[in-house]
């Protein structure tokens, strides 16, 4: 991805789930099948090894293989953005070098997790990563999981100096997104703004976002794309109707008991299994995988949503 292409990145970029076999091994065959299906559904890119992809649960080799499979399957049809986050700058750089070796078009980095870094430390962190990794760099702002919020001034400073080209903000905070978009514009700082939202795709464009990176797009990518496309052309009645289908699909993520976020990921996997796109609904241990009964309930919900369920779970 050239700098010009990075500046044109837009639309719906699913944070792809990472299929796992019951023995804990990454199922690269299912991953390739899912990647290909998402692209056929019209998505604008693939976000590999993100939160929805359970990235903290995999070692460096596994993460590189996931990124490589997405890149190979995409075959240049859409860009692949690889999350290379970890607990230290050194580890992030190592993941970044592997991501580039695997063919990623751009990389994304959360604040380091475990220690709560200051904004000055985050500035140093992103600058060091960009100096070492010759690829467009995105801030991945997700304070719910990493304990630190990347502040507007930090993001705009990094964008103005050319360290980062964009951000995925996963706070579901339209006020923050609008403030960030306006601040970047006032500073003349080029910044591609994406929201990690599920229910605000149409609203995201109204506050200056260039697209969304919603986990639910793994299951209803076409509805997400339709919501984005309609909002882009100002047809908000059509966008709202598409967004209603997206919101309805969130019922798939509420069946499984467990940690709320991980349970939602299990619901996505169970739906994709019922649709015949991935082989298993297994989660990385110790996250709880769906039971057979839960898979059956999710399959029925998927049918009710009009999704093509190939077989009973």
Residue range 80-115, pLDDT digits in tens: 999 999 999 999 999 999 999 999 999 999 999 999
Q: What is the pLDDT of residue 265?
A: 94
Give the residue among 75, 21, 46 at the shortest CA–CA distance from 218.
46
pLDDT in tens, 11-32: 999 999 999 999 999 999 999 9
CATH classification (class only), 11-303: alpha beta
* Catalytic annotation, residues: 140, 168
pLDDT in tens, 138-183: 999 999 999 999 999 999 999 999 999 999 999 999 999 999 999 9
Cα–Cα distance list, 11 to 174, 180, 192 (Å): 17, 19, 11
Task: Say if residue 310's pLDDT is above 90.
Answer: no
Separation between Cα atoms, residue 256 and residue 292, nearest integer Å:
11
- Neighbour-count burial of 137, counting CB atoms closer than 10 A to its CB (0-12 exposed, 13-18 middle, 19+ buried): buried
Q: What is the pLDDT of residue 57?
A: 96
The answer to whether the beta carbons of residues 21 and 282 sit under 8 Å apart is: yes
pTM beyond 0.85, yes or no: yes
């Amino acid at each position: 991805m050239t700098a010009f292409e990075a500046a044109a990145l837009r639309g719906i970029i699913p944070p792809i789930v990472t299929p796992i076999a019951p023995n804990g091994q990454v199922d690269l065959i299912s991953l390739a099948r899912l990647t290909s299906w998402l692209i056929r559904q019209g998505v604008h890119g693939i976000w590999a090894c993100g939160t929805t992809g359970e990235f903290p649960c995999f070692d460096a080799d596994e993460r590189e293989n996931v990124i490589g499979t997405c890149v190979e399957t995409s075959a240049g049809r859409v860009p692949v953005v690889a999350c290379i986050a970890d607990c230290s700058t050194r580890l992030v750089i190592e993941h970044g070098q592997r991501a580039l070796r695997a063919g990623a078009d751009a990389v994304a980095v959360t604040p380091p997790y475990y220690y709560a870094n200051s904004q000055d430390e985050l500035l140093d962190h992103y600058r060091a990563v960009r100096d070492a990794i010759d690829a467009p760099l995105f801030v991945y702002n997700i304070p719910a999981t990493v304990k630190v919020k990347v502040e507007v001034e930090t993001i705009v400073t990094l964008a103005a100096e050319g360290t980062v080209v964009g951000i995925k903000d996963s706070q579901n905070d339209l006020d923050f997104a609008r403030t960030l978009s306006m601040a970047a514009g006032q500073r003349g700082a080029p910044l591609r703004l994406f929201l990690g939202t599920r229910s605000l795709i149409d609203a995201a464009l109204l506050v200056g976002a260039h697209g969304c990176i919603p986990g639910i797009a793994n299951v209803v990518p076409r509805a997400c794309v339709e919501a984005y496309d309609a909002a882009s052309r100002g047809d908000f009645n059509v966008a709202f109707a598409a967004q209603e289908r997206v919101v309805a699909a969130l019922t798939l993520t509420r069946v499984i008991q467990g940690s709320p976020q991980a349970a939602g990921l299990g619901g996505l996997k169970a739906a994709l299994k019922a649709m015949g796109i991935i082989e298993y609904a297994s989660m990385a241990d110790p996250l709880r995988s769906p039971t057979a009964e839960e898979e059956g309930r999710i399959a029925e919900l998927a049918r009710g949503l009009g999704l093509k369920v190939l077989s009973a779970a």
